[in-house]
């Protein structure tokens, strides 16, 4: 009996071991793309946040939409119960081409609230490059994939005498209304047309989206509606408040394929995009190719160790870092320039093989990108950085200014300052130089003076006053209030002053590298303007009015009112170029460390974010916080301990932030506020890798600070076209949930006792080994002489 029990128990144990082995074996065989979870934070998405059927930076970002109207709380919304359409464009201030297959009595003319369909997440699959969902009201299984510029649909219909695919050009999509449309039948397998998406408060001019549609099987009839009523249509329907549809009969499990190609230039270019990118009808092949493309991008970084959830979250965040900012040029390299009074078609220069040398992009501001994209893209995807810089310089050629957030070929003047200056400078300093540096320097310099980007506050289209650059140059700060009149958004003198000072530092370093001594001295002096806002009596940054007096009453937790999407308590730390100088203003390293640590202790009680209240009074109360990791102004704060001789606090608080803000793979949470076109996803990646760059890589010799990696092994595969090394490895020993303090370190087999490393050392390739433990080793990396460089230490 006892032997029998032992035999049975042994068998159970062996089965369990075998099962666990098979699970681990399966996980080890998973590709990077299999680890991505598109549903993270999908309940809280902005219109352009959610992605599934798209390629990296793809012009087409095809996905279901549950809420159509509004910039915020729209697009794919996990907790909503009705799919209104599948639309092809989800970009910053860009949207267009909503479609939906239906069966039964046609209801398209009644609007999306009537024709939308229920669905279940149980029947849904969302992966990079693919989305599958069942429209329950119509018994249709919809599958979506794409190339860069072509959406590809596969619909499996039930038996029906009335099956339809509708194109609704009456709806709002995101922040844009639909002004008018033309839809034309070319044959019983082809449609083409154009849609004018209206101007928005952020994108000042209308934008035309051109489209070509092809079906693999002929439809029987072509129809349309206008102003909510079906009207007789022969071959074309045009005008405001119109939509179009095709009808056909289907048998059970009848599969219909549809391609939708787009262009912002012309129907001819949309057709060329289709012919060059998707000449065949093999849907599964496109899904497989999309997986392959994503896998190549994601495999630039290998991670080992950590939990499966941590690895899934890492590759989900990395996936987001490669999206949001969208291609707007065609396969041929044509693009639309809307910087002048009328749209103009432009051509990107071609290489010797006849292909465009780079892409044109649509992008929200690079506000905060110095703490995210500057590091990740430059280090892991330098070719992406280079392409974006050439796109920015192309717009400088077209419109006379380097933009800080181009949309639809328009200047939007989103946010404030010259946010692209650190992006360009950082790239150049790291050896990413496949662009015209003479042109780049001239354009950046222009942005730092009256008439440039520093003249304009957010969305200031018709004047150049709200940036306050004249005050900044004359008095050393931008006053608040600048004037009785508000010329745009974010007319916040405190934040503008600190941002300008940092951006001026970046310009000083660029001038130094190019041998422009006078400019180096000029911008170096301006980079010290941050000191003009430090109020020694209160020990925080504070506001000055036009007369040079401190603004009264003092309230360092008051949101905005001088501080851009933040407050004085948060912006006090915004001196990324001269942390040593800020330490001096605060009376030394101990005072600095204690003040910053107290801010984090207070922030712990609210999870390091400012909440998501909808009620204005609650929102006002929740925003009275010292640290907010749901937005960009606080990104650098935990890394400042590396500068003040307390790197163990950097290690501690970065791990707390990961666990509290950027953990898990739930649809209900993920980024604590606004993921913002890859910025917060990138930050999460860097936190888990254990590297960061407080000054955004803008010093003449860029460097990275070290924190506490989550994984036991991280391999960065370096691009050989840009860097001499093959790979750089970060390895941790004795790393765990509570073992996150660095005890000692070795770089390429030699003792390493500083919490930072030069970029030039890293890209030579090698290995950094970190011995971890449960208690802080306060002697490692804490020598003041070994602190990361600052402007004051140059």
Q: How many residues does the structure list for the chain?
A: 794
Residue 75 backbone class (left: φ over 0; alpha: ψ -120 to 50; beta: rest):
left
Predicted confidence at residue 25, as pLDDT, reads 41
Q: How far is CA 104 from the centre of its chain?
A: 40
Residue ranges of alpha helices (H) inside 240-357 are 267-277, 283-298, 308-320
SS3 label, residue 654: helix
- 128 Cβ neighbours under 8 A, 6+ residues apart: 33, 36, 38, 51, 52, 290, 291, 294, 319
User: For residue 15, what pLDDT band results from cuts at 50, 70 and 90?
Assistant: very low
The whole-chain average pLDDT of the chain stands at: 95
- What are residue 381's DSSP bridge partners? none
Could you report the per-residue pLDDT of 428-483, keeping only the tens digit for each?
A: 999 999 999 999 999 999 999 999 999 999 999 999 999 999 999 999 999 999 99
> Would you say residue 160 has pLDDT above 50?
yes
Predicted confidence at residue 404, as pLDDT, reads 94
Could you report the per-residue pLDDT of 229-272, keeping only the tens digit for each?
A: 999 999 999 999 999 999 999 999 999 999 999 999 999 999 99
> Would you say residue 135 has pLDDT above 60?
yes
| DSSP one-letter code for 176 | B
Please give the share of the chain, as a percent, with pLDDT higher than 90: 92
| Short-list 501, 411, 494, CA closest to 456 | 411
Predicted confidence at residue 9, as pLDDT, reads 37
Predicted confidence at residue 687, as pLDDT, reads 98
> Would you say residue 635 has pLDDT above 50?
yes
**CB atoms closer than 10 angstroms to residue 205:** 19
Predicted confidence at residue 362, as pLDDT, reads 96
SS3 label, residue 202: coil
- 754 Cβ neighbours under 8 A, 6+ residues apart: 781, 783, 786, 787
| DSSP one-letter code for 458 | B
> Would you say residue 14 has pLDDT above 50?
no
Report how far residue 632's alpha carbon sits from residue 565's, in angstroms, rounded to the nearest whole number: 9
Could you report the per-residue pLDDT of 750-762, keeping only the tens digit for each?
A: 999 999 999 999 9
Q: What is the mean pLDDT of residues 294-321?
A: 98
Predicted confidence at residue 465, as pLDDT, reads 98
> Would you say residue 48 has pLDDT above 70?
yes
Predicted confidence at residue 11, as pLDDT, reads 39
User: For residue 324, what pLDDT band results from cuts at 50, 70 and 90?
Assistant: confident
Could you report the per-residue pLDDT of 535-588, keeping only the tens digit for each?
A: 999 999 999 999 999 999 999 999 999 999 999 999 999 999 999 999 999 999
SS3 label, residue 530: helix
Report how far residue 514's alpha carbon sits from residue 616's, in angstroms, rounded to the nearest whole number: 50
- 792 Cβ neighbours under 8 A, 6+ residues apart: 578, 580, 581, 584
Q: What is the mean pLDDT of residues 386-396?
A: 98
Q: How far is the CA of 212 from the CAs of 101, 152, 266, in angstroms?
A: 17, 12, 10
Q: What is the mean pLDDT of residues 23-37?
A: 74
Q: What is the mean pLDDT of residues 398-423?
A: 96
Could you report the per-residue pLDDT of 714-739, keeping only the tens digit for each?
A: 999 999 999 999 999 999 999 999 99
> Would you say residue 389 has pLDDT above 80?
yes
Global pTM?
Answer: 0.95
Predicted confidence at residue 28, as pLDDT, reads 53
**CB atoms closer than 10 angstroms to residue 108:** 23
Q: What is the mean pLDDT of residues 329-353?
A: 97
Predicted confidence at residue 375, as pLDDT, reads 98
> Would you say residue 1 has pLDDT above 90?
no
Q: Write the DSSP assignment of 416-443 as a string of letters.
A: SS-THHHHHHHHHHTT---S-HHHHHHH
Predicted confidence at residue 614, as pLDDT, reads 72
> Would you say residue 768 has pLDDT above 90?
yes
Token pair belonging to 524: 């170096």
> Would you say residue 4 has pLDDT above 70?
no
Radius of gyration of the chain (CA): 27
Q: Do 35 and 312 contact (CB within 8 A), yes or no?
A: yes
Could you report the per-residue pLDDT of 57-88, keeping only the tens digit for each?
A: 999 999 999 999 999 999 999 999 999 999 99
Predicted confidence at residue 786, as pLDDT, reads 93
> Would you say residue 645 has pLDDT above 90?
yes
């Amino acid at each position: 009996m006892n032997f029998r029990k032992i035999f049975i128990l042994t068998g159970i144990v062996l089965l369990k071991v075998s099962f666990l082995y098979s699970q681990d074996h399966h996980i080890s065989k998973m590709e990077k793309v299999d680890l991505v979870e598109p549903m993270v934070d999908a309940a809280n998405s902005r219109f352009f946040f959610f992605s599934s059927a798209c390629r990296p930076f793809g012009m087409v970002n095809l996905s279901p939409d549950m809420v159509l109207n509004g910039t915020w709380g729209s697009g794919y919304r996990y907790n909503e119960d009705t799919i209104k359409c599948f639309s092809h464009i989800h970009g910053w201030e860009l949207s267009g081409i909503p479609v939906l297959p239906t069966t039964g009595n046609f209801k398209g003319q009644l609007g999306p609230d009537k024709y939308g369909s229920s669905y279940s997440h149980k029947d849904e699959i969302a992966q990079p490059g693919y989305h599958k969902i069942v429209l329950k009201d119509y018994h249709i299984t919809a599958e979506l994939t794409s190339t860069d510029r072509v959406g590809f649909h596969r619909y499996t219909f039930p038996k029906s005498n009335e099956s339809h695919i509708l194109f609704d050009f009456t709806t709002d999509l995101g922040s844009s209304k639909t002004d008018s449309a033309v839809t034309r039948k070319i044959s019983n397998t082809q449609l083409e047309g154009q849609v004018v998406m209206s101007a928005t408060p952020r994108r000042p001019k209308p934008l035309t989206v051109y489209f070509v549609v092809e079906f693999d099987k002929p439809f029987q009839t072509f129809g349309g509606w206008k102003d909510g009523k079906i009207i007789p249509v022969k071959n074309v329907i045009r005008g405001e408040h119109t939509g179009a549809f095709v009808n056909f009969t289907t048998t059970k499990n009848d599969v219909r394929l549809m391609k939708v190609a787009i262009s912002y230039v012309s129907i001819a270019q949309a057709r060329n995009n289709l012919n060059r990118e998707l000449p065949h009808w093999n849907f599964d092949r496109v899904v497989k190719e999309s997986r392959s493309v994503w896998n190549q991008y994601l495999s630039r970084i290998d991670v080992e160790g950590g939990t499966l959830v941590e690895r899934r979250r890492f590759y989900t965040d990395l996936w987001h870092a490669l999206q949001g900012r969208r291609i707007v040029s065609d396969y041929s390299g044509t693009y639309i320039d809307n910087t002048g009074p009328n749209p103009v078609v432009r051509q990107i220069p071609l290489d010797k093989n006849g292909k465009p040398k780079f892409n044109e992009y649509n992008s929200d501001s690079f506000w905060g990108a110095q703490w995210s994209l500057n590091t990740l893209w430059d280090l892991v995807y330098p070719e992406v950085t280079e392409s974006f810089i050439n796109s920015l310089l192309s717009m400088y050629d077209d419109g006379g200014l380097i933009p800080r957030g181009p949309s639809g070929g328009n200047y939007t003047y989103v946010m404030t300052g010259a946010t692209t200056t650190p992006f360009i400078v950082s790239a150049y300093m790291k050896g990413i130089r496949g662009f015209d540096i003479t042109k780049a320097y001239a354009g950046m310099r222009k942005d730092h003076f009256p008439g440039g980007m520093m003249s304009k506050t957010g969305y200031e289209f018709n004047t150049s006053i709200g940036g306050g650059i004249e005050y900044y140059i004359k008095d050393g700060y931008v006053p608040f209030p600048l004037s009785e009149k508000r010329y745009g958004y974010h007319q916040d003198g405190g934040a503008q002053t600190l941002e300008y000072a940092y951006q001026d530092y970046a310009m000083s370093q660029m001038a130094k590298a190019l041998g422009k001594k006078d400019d180096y001295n000029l911008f170096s002096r301006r980079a010290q303007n941050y000191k003009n806002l430090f109020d020694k009596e209160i020990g925080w940054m504070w506001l000055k009015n036009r007369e040079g007096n401190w603004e009264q009453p003092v309230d360092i937790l008051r949101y905005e009112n001088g501080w851009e999407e933040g407050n004085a308590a948060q912006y006090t730390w915004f001196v990324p170029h001269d942390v040593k100088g800020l330490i001096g203003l605060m009376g030394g390293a101990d005072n600095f460390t204690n003040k910053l640590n107290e801010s984090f202790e207070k922030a712990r009680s609210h999870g390091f974010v400012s909440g998501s209240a909808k009620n204005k009074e609650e929102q006002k109360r929740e925003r009275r916080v010292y640290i907010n990791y749901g937005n960009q102004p606080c990104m650098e704060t935990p890394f400042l301990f590396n500068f003040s001789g307390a790197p163990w606090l950097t290690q501690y608080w970065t791990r707390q932030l990961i666990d509290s803000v950027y953990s898990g793979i739930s649809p209900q949470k993920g980024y604590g506020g606004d993921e913002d076109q890859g910025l917060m996803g990138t930050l999460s990646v860097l936190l888990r890798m254990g590297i960061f760059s407080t000054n955004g890589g803008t010093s003449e010799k860029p460097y990275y600070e070290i924190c506490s990696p989550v994984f036991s092994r991280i391999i960065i595969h370096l691009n050989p076209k840009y860097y001499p090394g093959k790979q750089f490895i970060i390895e941790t020993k004795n790393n765990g949930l509570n073992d996150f303090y660095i005890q000692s370190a070795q770089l390429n087999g030699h003792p390493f006792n500083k919490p930072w490393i030069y970029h030039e050392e890293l890209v030579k390739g090698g290995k950094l080994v970190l011995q971890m433990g449960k208690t802080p080793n306060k002697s490692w990396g804490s020598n003041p002489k070994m602190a990361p460089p600052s402007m004051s230490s140059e």
